[in-house]
Amino acid sequence: MENQHEWLKKEIAKGFMLLSALNLKGRPAAKDLTAVAQVWYGLLLKQKWQPDRDVSRVKMAFENIAVSQNEWPNPSDLIRYLPPLEIKMVPRLDEKHTPTTYGKQQAKALKQKLAVLKTAPCMNREWIHGQRHRTVDECRKIYADRQKGIKNE
């Protein structure tokens, strides 16, 4: 694990050199910089890092801190100033899938089943619920009659 994240130690050291040269407020003493770097390294190891994508991000974060901060940063500042991950778009495939004979047969069978279902009685709403043939006034009259107890149908 130590060798895997050796690059992170180097980037922290380079970043500390940059920030030390700026002499920011709250800068640790020169003899304490190695201890502070070890603390940063221990805290930053809790993140998931990949050297091929994160080396440049950590460099950019230290540079952004150097440009914008007046005080010595904390590890949380470094995380906050990390640029977002690059999203690599995958190019579309030019070749479309050519269906096999089995696939063509299955598609044909599915289309036939859908054609049968479209004419099935359960798909015909009028068959289930009947046609709407009463007006609003007729419905009100029927409701009022039912409330009075008169059967009208």
The predicted-structure confidence for 31-67, as pLDDT tens digits, reads as follows 999 999 999 999 999 989 999 899 999 999 999 999 9
Between 32 and 130, where is the model more confident?
32
Segment 61-91, tens digit of pLDDT = 999 999 999 999 999 999 999 999 888 888 8
Looking at residue 57, what is its pLDDT? 94
66: nearest Cα among 21, 4, 132, 105? 21
Q: Please state, in angstroms and rounded to a whole number, the distance separating the CA atoms of residues 82 and 56.
A: 10
pTM here is: 0.56
Compute the residue count for the chain: 153
Q: Please state, in angstroms and rounded to a whole number, the distance separating the CA atoms of residues 17 and 19.
A: 6
Q: Which amino acid is at 91?
A: P
Lowest average pLDDT, out of 66-70, 92-96, 114-118, 125-129, goes to: 125-129
Between 88 and 126, where is the model more confident?
88
Judged by DSSP in three states, 77 sits in helix
Residue 147 pLDDT > 80: yes
Angle separating helix axes 6-22 and 33-44, nearest 10 degrees? 130
Q: Where are the alpha helices (DSSP H) in the chain?
A: 6-22, 33-44, 51-68, 75-81, 101-118, 125-129, 136-148
Looking at residue 1, what is its pLDDT? 52
